Amino acid sequence: MEELSAFRALEKTCFVLGASGETGKELLKELVRLQPFKNIVLIGRRKLEFEEDNLRNLEQRIVDFDNLDKPEHARMFEGCNHGFCSLGTTRKKEGKEGYIRVDHDYVVAAAKAAKAGGCEHFHLVSSQGADEHSMLLLTKVKGEAERDVAALNFPRCSLYRPAFLVCDRTESRPFETLFKYAIKPIEWLSPTLISIPTSLLAKGMIANAFIPGQKGVEIVDNKKIHELGHKCP
């Protein structure tokens, strides 16, 4: 992509929220490989350990997500032009209240801090079917998070709605493993319909950052993510 070289010359900085998750790990991997940003800032509640020796432009900032409104945590977002947010958990792991707290409250609080810190383009990983009026908890909470992040009026805000995420998870999720094999015939017939590899989602987000002239809020559906991902080298 010619845009990568052009953007690199602008010496911009990005932050990543959720770098320990499956999508976040792939996103960081691609950011390190492509080096499109001068600096990469990981924002999280704990420091992550890496074996790679090519992370010289990587900075880690520790925050308390329950207190992002406090100045010492809010300023952790300063100096970042782009923000990639893939924060998320599951109801099974955190319970209903914990799921809402992470997938909505933390996401929106982080977006507010990012906006105050000067973020120009906020990228949020949401979910296919996100709808604030949904009867289902997952899609309802995702829709509410989209609504509240969009209302912050970033110069540009990209809301990604991936379908089923295909990856090799470190944690055991038997149902997802069975589903992954069950949908293979559908993936073969229509690769963009029902799933997307986390690696391709990460590439799609990065590629989307270099599309010039875009402003305002955009919803990026699963098919579009696939298209963007395949444009990334």
DSSP string, 146-191: HHHHHTT--SEEEEEE--EEE---SS--HHHHHHHHHTHHHHHH-T
Q: What is the pLDDT of residue 194?
A: 67
Sheet of 82-85: strands edge to edge? Answer: 58-62, 39-44, 13-17, 82-85, 121-125, 156-161, 216-221
- The domain limits of the chain are 2-165+197-229
Digit-coded pLDDT (tens) for 32-43 = 988 889 999 999
Q: What is the pLDDT of residue 212?
A: 82
CA distance 150 to 157: 7
Q: What is the mean pLDDT of residues 12-40?
A: 93
DSSP code for 70: S
Q: Which residue has the higher pLDDT, 10 or 166?
A: 166
Q: What is the pLDDT of residue 92?
A: 82
Q: What is the pLDDT of residue 197?
A: 92
Instruction: Give me the chain's average pLDDT, please.
Output: 87
Q: What is the mean pLDDT of residues 95-111?
A: 95
Beta strands 216-221 and 82-85: pairing type? unpaired
Q: Which residue has the higher pLDDT, 156 or 172?
A: 156
Q: What is the pLDDT of residue 50?
A: 82
Q: What is the pLDDT of residue 132?
A: 97
- Name beta bridge partners: 157: 122, 217
**CATH class of segment(s) 2-165+197-229:** alpha beta
Asked whether the whole model's pTM tops 0.85, one would answer: yes
Contact (Cβ atoms closer than 8 angstroms) between residue 192 and residue 226: yes
Check whether 14 has a pLDDT greater than 60.
yes
Q: Dihedral (C-alpha) 173, 175, 177, 183: value to the nearest 10 degrees?
A: -150
Q: Which residue has the higher pLDDT, 186 or 16?
A: 16
Q: What is the mean pLDDT of residues 137-141?
A: 95
